[in-house]
Structure 1
């Protein structure tokens, strides 16, 4: 029986307008009645997830920042800290590319450089990082680094950002999370590793877990659960990895998938 259900956010749970789908509260009620824990599993900041899921702050398990920060009821369950000096060097690698912006993702906050702040970047930041500080230098930050993120306002992150970061593969992993964003984390962490840590702590197996995803940063998540669902709008490789498929995020595919699991008597 399924005891834990995880879902990516953008392109997966959220609709085309970036909103929770109608019927979400009813699905969560049904899961609650069956004792199934729900976990947003996203590249978004923990505090951004809290904003999205107001009222569920103490009920959901939050796998934030692509699994580098996991919290439940406000307490840290698991985190993955980067090597700070090398992380800062990577953040400097793209600073001269027009239209590319960097984010130092810390445990306490997200940090961006003052000279690079403009309306375009600020609007994008608000989607994913609700706790943000503007600094003159990343070196002045008194926080641990759990992730470095890079935004391309032209939507060609794979072409314009990734080539500058691939030399850091090894100590870090570099993953495109969309056409606009590239994330860098420790080599030994991803959504899948975070899920495995949660499974150990909760004493549950992959057969007792379901997950929904759409993009390449969801690949390891697909491999860490038995009930892996690719969205209809998912990347072709994610569809290959997943055991099951559901409708697109525009059609509220996550809710459809969960409802089917409930109706088939697999939850509880």
Structure 2
């Protein structure tokens, strides 16, 4: 019996205009009536996710910032921050990358030291709450995720700046613009295991949906992992199943209907 549905957001639940499916609220209501928890696992900050799902956020599970910040029924459950000295080294490195901008993600908001409007216009698509500070080095808060907006393509540019850090943290390209860096044990797969243990839900009772490389550990770990048909090739390869429809055609909800978890 399925008890937990976990979905990524961008490229998975959201369409390419970052819009939720029209019938998402009806779907969540039907799942909850059946005792099935609806959860989001996203690289987005918790505050943004809570804003998006404001109607039902207190009834949901959020694995925000790529699983580094877990919130259940509106209450923080666990964090998995980056070590403070390492954060400073990452900032120093990020400042050297051409055409790239740093965001530090905390539990309360995201922090940037650049007011470049091109950067901020892209960042605000995913981070509703951003505070501009004079110097990121002076920030005295847990950093859950270090993020780079790389306008030259993170796969071919910024990720190589972090090769020497791989024994202390984990860089992951999350889109064609964004590179995320978390602690070595921080990923959506680890977050999913943590929440399953806390909720007493088994892997066989869980379904997950994803599309990109920051979903990799979650898709690899889950017994019932559904890669979006539009997913990255490595996600398609590691997942157990593939959706019939893509993110622009409500592939997540279509799959839930085909499994008879919600009404068609």
Normalising to structure 2: TM-score of the pair? 0.95
The correspondence for 2:178, drawn from 177, 181, 194, is 181
Q: Following the alignment from structure 2 to structure 1, what is the Cα–Cα distance between the partners of residues 208 and 167? A: 27
User: What secondary structure sits across from 2:255 in the alignment?
Assistant: helix
Counterpart position of 2:59? 59
CA distance change for structure 1 residues 196 and 263 in 2, over 3 Å: closer, same or farther? Answer: closer
In structure 1, stretches of 5+ residues that fail to align are none
Q: Following the alignment from structure 2 to structure 1, what is the Cα–Cα distance between the partners of residues 99 and 87? A: 20
Q: Following the alignment from structure 1 to structure 2, what is the Cα–Cα distance between the partners of residues 264 and 224? A: 24
What CA deviation, in whole Å up to 9, does each residue of 1:198-236 have, x standing for no partner? 011011110000000001111111123221101010011
Counterpart position of 1:235? 232
What CA deviation, in whole Å up to 9, does each residue of 1:123-144 have, x standing for no partner? 1111221121111111221211
Q: Does 1:221 align with 2:222?
A: no
User: What secondary structure sits across from 2:62 in the alignment?
Assistant: strand
Q: Following the alignment from structure 1 to structure 2, what is the Cα–Cα distance between the partners of residues 40 and 181? A: 19
User: What secondary structure sits across from 1:229 in the alignment?
Assistant: strand
Q: Following the alignment from structure 2 to structure 1, what is the Cα–Cα distance between the partners of residues 261 and 164? A: 48
Aligned length: 262
Residue 97 of structure 1 and its aligned partner are, at CA, apart by 3.0
User: What secondary structure sits across from 1:49 in the alignment?
Assistant: helix
Q: Following the alignment from structure 2 to structure 1, what is the Cα–Cα distance between the partners of residues 111 and 11? A: 25
Q: Following the alignment from structure 1 to structure 2, what is the Cα–Cα distance between the partners of residues 264 and 164? A: 45
User: What secondary structure sits across from 1:70 in the alignment?
Assistant: strand
Counterpart position of 2:131? 133
What CA deviation, in whole Å up to 9, does each residue of 1:81-112 have, x standing for no partner? 11111112112212133320001111222110
Normalising to structure 1: TM-score of the pair? 0.94
Q: Following the alignment from structure 2 to structure 1, what is the Cα–Cα distance between the partners of residues 73 and 188? A: 19
- Partners of 1:191 and 1:218 within 8 A in 2: yes
Q: Following the alignment from structure 1 to structure 2, what is the Cα–Cα distance between the partners of residues 179 and 5? A: 26
4+ long deviations beyond 6 Å: none
- Partners of 1:108 and 1:143 within 8 A in 2: no
Q: Following the alignment from structure 2 to structure 1, what is the Cα–Cα distance between the partners of residues 260 and 186? A: 31
